[in-house]
Amino acid sequence: NAGVTQTPKFQVLKTGQSMTLQCAQDMNHNSMYWYRQDPGMGLRLIYYSASEGTTDKGEVPNGYNVSRLNKREFSLRLESAAPSQTSVYFCASSEADGYTFGSGTRLTVV
């Protein structure tokens, strides 16, 4: 089925470790997004990419970097993980017909 695929689904990191969350979409959407979801906070935008080759900060970008590798792929990198980055991360893509979300990555930083 067409959609947004995220890997990995679960990850445990130690404080200070780095990792990259991968996201790919096969709907030929131009725009892609990374959100984090925390209890009582809703979903908050970390970074987004309006089109291949462009990226912009969202509401909570500190501690993260992104790469729009091509039109399909948009990765999120944590250079030095902190316990405050424990969260569920969602990737999404969009066109005028609305957003499609991946199934999420549950990240725990200990």
In this chain, which stretch among 12-20, 44-52, 63-71, 72-80 interacts with another protein, using CB under 8 A? 44-52
d(CA 93, CA 91) in angstroms, rounded, equals 7
Figure out which of the listed residues 1, 2, 40, 62 binds another protein, where binding follows CB under 8 A.
40
Query: Applying CB under 8 A, does 108 fall inside the site for another protein?
Result: no
7 binds another protein (CB under 8 A): no
**Residue among 81 and 102 whose Cβ is closer to another protein:** 102
When the beta carbons of 56 and 79 are compared against another protein, the nearer one is 56
5 is an interface residue for another protein by CB under 8 A: no
Binding segment (CB under 8 A) for another protein, from list 16-24, 65-73, 79-87, 99-107? 99-107
Distance between CA atoms of residues 10 and 96, nearest Å: 31
Region of 71 on the Ramachandran plot (φ > 0 left; ψ -120 to 50 alpha; else beta):
alpha
Does the protein bind another protein through residue 55 (CB under 8 A)? no
- Rounded to the nearest 5 degrees, what angle is found at the Cα of 67, between the Cα atoms of 6 and 33? 55
Q: What is the 3-state secondary structure (H, E, C) of 12-58?
A: EECCCCCEEEEEEECCCCCEEEEEEEECCCEEEEEEEECCCCCCEEC
* DSSP assigned state of 62: T
Residues that bind another protein (CB under 8 A): 29-31, 33, 40-45, 48, 50-51, 56, 58, 90, 92, 94-104, 106
